[in-house]
Structure 1
Amino acid sequence: MADGDRFPIPRIGIWTGALDTVPASRSRELAAELEELGYGAVWLPEVAGRDPFVHLALILSATRTLIGATGIANIWARDAVATSGAVKGLTEAFPERMLLGLGVSHQNLVGDLRGHNYDKPLTAMRNYLDGMDKAPYLAQRPTTPVRRVLAALRPRMLRLAAERTDGAHPYFVTPEHTARARETLGAGPLLCPEQAVVLESDPDKARAIGREYTKVYLGQPNYVNSILELGFTEADLADGGSDKFVDALVAWGDADQIVARVREHLDAGADHVAVQALPETKRGVPDGQWRDLAPALMSLRDR
């Protein structure tokens, strides 16, 4: 990454899978509202919903400045040539508004769901980046660089992110992880962690919502290994996580308490924080939280 060529991503964005639960027309409306509220980016996941590149094309066409990011596009879902074509097409249509987040995913989502051989994920990612770099492209080329980050948690993937991409998008992490990731990445690459939040001051209710989130990821060895390296114990991770663990992964309380956690990531070296407001129900849309948190979160934009 050349000096002066850093991707100009704003400090605060939204990470959400909720836009998949509403009609495409409503998704576009909500994206436009997020932009009006001041959020600088929206991160969309990939499991088995809308193709994230199709979804981002819809969202970007309904907004003016919002950055669309994949959080995270699965390298096993399409080959390197297909991904290269998708991201170049969106970058050409929406200069400096497309950020490709790439990840190796997990054994159950690669082997069981897609039927691929989940073997040597670091090597697979390195080979995938090689494939993207040499992929042919016969359409109109973008006038701005293709921007990409890796879903990196542990040192080797973080180092690959620093060497071959614009940076890293760690998911299911704490500010302590952000500090370690910054140390591994060095000063130049982007660091864009996700932070789960619940705008709820009742401890029992907030932790119940948070535990529904944490228990999903505690079934994935990649996340468990990362968390254990931060000093948590196996006992902390049992039954969806102890209160201590849930509190560390999910910021809850009033807007000031949530802003304080986001600020911790920024102080630890994050360039951008993708805030994931957790809905009360599995297919709910946390648009009320997005609206209520916006004034306080926007205070961090120009810090």
Structure 2
Amino acid sequence: MDDTLPDLGPVGTDLTVRDDGSHLDHAAELEELGYGALWIAGGQIDALDRLAEVVRATRRIPVVPSIIPTGRYPADEVAALYRELEAEHPGRLVAGLGAPQQPRAMAAFGAYLDRLDSVGTRVPAGRRMLAAIGPRKLALARDRAAGALPLMVTPEYTAGARGILGPDRVLAVQQFTVLDDDPVRARETARPTLGFLLGVRGYRDNVLRMGFTDDDVATISDRLVDAVVVHGGPDDVAARVAAHRAAGADHVSVGTLGPTGGVAAARRLAPALPGVRAATRGTTVE
């Protein structure tokens, strides 16, 4: 692969899109706090212009959709957005892409990537990353993209994913967090999100591959929650980030769940996180 890989820094954070546009001010603040990348969940991308707005509201931080659903947005539209933003703000958009939920999804995903590779609609392989958790999609991310964006995984999984991707692809792990020292309450906060994802076959299959049981999945057991969601305080989150990094992750995106989430959580976490700490030293975090 000849394309330059994206530099996302060691730690990123999620950005919640708001109807009143306040997320654009939040994006600028998160950049100043020192996070390496901003992540926007696919369910919040009701139009591709959402991504352009965030890029334009910030100065240097990479913006990564996680993910652009390829079943909804044609490759030509994604490529047009990429070309537009490359002309204005080069290197700022990394196209996070997810396979369509349809029969023969891998074949359809491959055809989508072919279109992005084609003359006139090119989005370089080094500027796109794939939502990949299973072995086949990790191999596709290795061969056709800058790397992979796994979600709802453990550090042990991260080590295995690194083995499939090899040393020269970007492994950006997305880590759910709940800033709550009460483990019972924190698990209840996390369960609705996990329950939604476990309804998607790919996530369920991966949880089983990681060694959890059908009963763990059916009940969203404490064991499962604790393995894929870190709860507690900033030091607990920093320890899980460090574990993923030690296992081979290049970047960890911290996504906070529940009422303690959002930009306030990012402020609280920043001094404890590697790579963000230096940027916030001397800053008062409320």
Partner of 1:64: 59
Is 1:206 paired with 2:190?
no
Change (3 A) 1:230 1:300: farther
TM-score between the two structures when normalised by the length of structure 1 = 0.86
Map Cα deviations across residues 199-228 of structure 1 (whole Å, 9 max, x no partner): 111111111111122111111111000110
Change (3 A) 1:105 1:250: farther
Partner of 2:149: 169
Is 1:278 paired with 2:257?
yes
Partner of 1:77: 72
Map Cα deviations across residues 133-171 of structure 1 (whole Å, 9 max, x no partner): 11525xxx99x9860011011111111111111111112
Partner of 1:46: 42
How many Å apart are 1:89 and its aligned residue? 1.8
Q: How does 1:15-26 map to 2 (within 5 A)?
A: 15-16=14-15, 18-19=16-17, 21-24=18-21, 26=22
How many Å apart are 1:92 and its aligned residue? 2.4
Q: How does 1:240-251 map to 2 (within 5 A)?
A: 241-251=220-230
Q: Which amino acid aligns with 1:159?
A: A
Partner of 1:101: 96
Partner of 2:109: 125
Q: Unaligned 5+ residue runs, structure 2? A: 279-286
In structure 2, how many angstroms separate the alpha carbons of the residues matched to 1:234 and 1:246?
14
Change (3 A) 1:193 1:119: same
In structure 2, how many angstroms separate the alpha carbons of the residues matched to 1:277 and 1:62?
22
Change (3 A) 1:301 1:178: farther
Q: Unaligned 5+ residue runs, structure 1? A: 107-117
In structure 1, how many angstroms separate the alpha carbons of the residues matched to 2:134 and 2:58?
34
In structure 2, how many angstroms separate the alpha carbons of the residues matched to 1:2 and 1:105?
27
Change (3 A) 1:100 1:49: closer
Q: Which amino acid aligns with 1:267?
A: A
Q: Which amino acid aligns with 2:105?
A: P
Change (3 A) 1:198 1:216: same
Q: Residues 80 and 135 of structure 1 are in contact (CA less than 8 Å); yes or no, is this contact kept in structure 2? A: no
In structure 1, how many angstroms separate the alpha carbons of the residues matched to 2:19 and 2:273?
25
Partner of 1:7: 6
How many Å apart are 1:99 and its aligned residue? 0.5
How many Å apart are 1:6 and its aligned residue? 2.7
Secondary structure, aligned partner of 1:206: helix
How many Å apart are 1:132 and its aligned residue? 1.1
How many residues are aligned here?
A: 278
Root mean square deviation, CA, Å: 2.1
Secondary structure, aligned partner of 2:42: coil
Q: Residues 72 and 103 of structure 1 are in contact (CA less than 8 Å); yes or no, is this contact kept in structure 2? A: yes
Secondary structure, aligned partner of 2:133: coil
Q: Which amino acid aligns with 2:157?
A: H
Partner of 2:269: 293
How many Å apart are 1:279 and its aligned residue? 2.3
In structure 2, how many angstroms separate the alpha carbons of the residues matched to 1:183 and 1:134?
30
In structure 2, how many angstroms separate the alpha carbons of the residues matched to 1:186 and 1:204?
38
Map Cα deviations across residues 255-287 of structure 1 (whole Å, 9 max, x no partner): 11110001111111111111101122xxx8622
Change (3 A) 1:11 1:218: same
Q: Which amino acid aligns with 2:111?
A: N
In structure 1, how many angstroms separate the alpha carbons of the residues matched to 2:261 and 2:223?
27
Secondary structure, aligned partner of 1:13: strand
Q: Which amino acid aligns with 1:271?
A: D
Partner of 1:267: 246
Q: Which amino acid aligns with 2:55?
A: L
Change (3 A) 1:32 1:100: same
Percent identity over the alignment? Answer: 37
TM-score between the two structures when normalised by the length of structure 2 = 0.91
In structure 1, how many angstroms separate the alpha carbons of the residues matched to 2:105 and 2:54?
31
In structure 2, how many angstroms separate the alpha carbons of the residues matched to 1:206 and 1:105?
32
Q: Residues 182 and 270 of structure 1 are in contact (CA less than 8 Å); yes or no, is this contact kept in structure 2? A: yes
